[in-house]
Amino acid sequence: NGNKPLNGTTAIVTAGPTIEHIDPVRYISNHSSGKMGIAIAEALADAGANVQLVLGPTSQQTSHTGITTIKVQTAQEMFEAVTTRFPHAGIVVAAAAVADYRPANVADRKIKKGEAQLHIDLEKTPDILRSLGDSKGPQQLLVGFSLETNNEKEYALKKLREKHLDLIVMNSLADAGAGFNYDTNKVTLFDKNGQERSFPLKSKQEVAQDIVSAIIELQHA
């Protein structure tokens, strides 16, 4: 079908958690399942986009035609997979829950049990979305997520502004049925033009549709 709205557009979607190694047997991670990002990848592909799904470690997957999955583990690997593909992309949606910190040194042997307390020094990971926002061209559309437990709107608007995004999807762990691993989510969209839209609790597939509709609208604005 040559008439789909995103025909000829390449979209990159990040999804899932990252894992940051401590030693050969342990890591730091979070509760992301990848469901939200995979639903967005599928909705973009349904709209005709050629989708590159950069997916952290999860058992969730998609067999949708029109989606190429690139599996990564760490924030650094996700950063490299996204930034190398970015010059060819018209749309990026960052739904992944990327670790903000990683162990400064990865032990090459299993850390043995000893003292009552163990300290692990952490260092910042690269902020993928911020780096895309700093280098994006006028035709590239950047969509971020914001996940918080408090001061949700304030933090979401700060990320929209500071990461130079076109659209941010706010979701909160304070809302029942929203966020990690559920099949549902409850979001508010804020765009760079000051438009704010709140949606009720819906399936992640329906939320993905709302996000893709907002993306298509922004492209024509």
Per CB under 6 A, which region of 20-28, 41-49, 97-105, 106-114 contacts ligand PMT? 97-105
Residue 100 labelled as part of a binding site:
yes
Which of 1, 30, 50, 193 does the annotation list as catalytic? 30
Output 48 or 215, the one with its CB closest to ligand PMT: 215
Tokens of 67: 């989606």
What is the b/e burial string over 84-112, where b = at least 16 CB atoms within 10 angstroms of the residue's CB? ebbeebbbbbbbbbbbeebbeeeeeeeee
Contact call for residue 48 and ligand PMT (CB under 6 A): no
Residues 130-189 that bind ligand PMT (CB under 6 A): 144-147, 159, 171, 179-181
Residue 189 CB, shortest distance to ligand PMT, in Å, is 12
> Would you say 190 and 157 are in contact if contact means Cβ atoms under 8 Å apart?
yes
Residue 30 a catalytic site member: yes
Contact call for residue 36 and ligand PMT (CB under 6 A): yes
**Which stretches within 136-203 are classed as H helix?**
152-162
Number of C-beta neighbours around residue 81 at 10 A: 19
Q: Which amino acid is at 122?
A: L
Catalytic residues: 30
Binding site for ligand PMT (CB under 6 A): 14, 16, 32-36, 75, 94-98, 100, 125, 127-129, 144-147, 159, 171, 179-181
